């Protein structure tokens, strides 16, 4: 599996993501400047990553300007063909602005920037993962109809919880509706999350829970690729 990490003006987690994927998970990584448009070196078995940061200084709305970067039309086309796209923090905001994911990320409920470790829980998972957050506008919001659709289609992939895995209001760091920390699209090939798994992939960081998040993406992609190979060889 090959990863393309997009670099926008103001990105500050692009190299963190590159290091985590390349050095901790032994994956091939290609850095992509936001003015590039050619994604022909990637197949639908690969993944484009929109990293965290403050693209274009977070002017207007977070992610609203980056959505119109030259590369984004190519990313949208890549996703529409079934290619995998992961957006982390500012990347999640960009995916919502580009309408690749529903809903929006609003100002944190306490109106302050939050930078700390939190716990999240995946769908059907028993273990709570400790993953850092660092955002001022991470409060996920959508109307009730959209939220109900997300729930029905199992598109909520992570929720904020406490260390024991209990989903409570006290464990919700930013006021996100229904404790939502991450979602995917209906096709399950576009993923967005506010916490930063790339900041928790190495023993030197004192936390490797982020590896579980990123490895789940790689394992899922490899499973799909193996299914395709089996069909070809049938």
List the catalytic residues.
89, 196, 198
| Phi/psi of residue 69, nearest 5 degrees | -60, 145
- Ordered alpha helix ranges (H), 34-185: 70-80, 90-97, 144-152
CA 4 vs CA 17, 70, 78, 161, 166: distances in Å: 10, 15, 12, 30, 35
The Cα 180–Cα 185 span in angstroms is 14
The Cα 168–Cα 178 span in angstroms is 9
């Amino acid at each position: 599996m090959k990863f393309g990490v997009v670099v926008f003006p103001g990105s500050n987690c692009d190299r963190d993501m590159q290091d985590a994927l390349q050095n901790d998970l032994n994956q091939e990584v290609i850095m992509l400047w936001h003015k590039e448009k050619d994604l022909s070196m990637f197949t639908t078995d690969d993944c484009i990553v929109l990293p965290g940061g403050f693209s274009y200084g977070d002017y207007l709305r977070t992610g609203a300007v980056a959505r119109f970067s030259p590369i984004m039309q190519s990313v949208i086309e890549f996703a529409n063909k079934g290619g995998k796209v992961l957006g982390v923090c500012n990347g999640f905001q960009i995916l919502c602005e580009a309408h690749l994911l529903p809903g929006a990320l609003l100002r944190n409920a306490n109106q302050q920037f939050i930078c700390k470790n939190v716990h999240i829980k995946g769908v059907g998972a028993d273990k709570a993962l400790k993953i850092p957050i660092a955002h001022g506008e991470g409060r996920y919001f959508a109307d009730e109809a959209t939220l109900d659709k997300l729930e029905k289609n199992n598109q909520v992939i992570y929720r904020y919880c406490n260390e024991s895995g209990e989903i409570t209001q006290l464990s919700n760091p930013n006021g996100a509706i229904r404790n939502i920390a991450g979602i995917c699209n209906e096709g399950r090939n576009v993923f967005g999350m506010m916490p930063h798994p790339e900041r928790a992939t190495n023993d030197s960081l004192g936390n490797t829970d982020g590896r579980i998040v990123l490895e789940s993406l790689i394992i899922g992609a490899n499973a799909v690729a193996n299914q395709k190979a089996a069909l070809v060889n049938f």
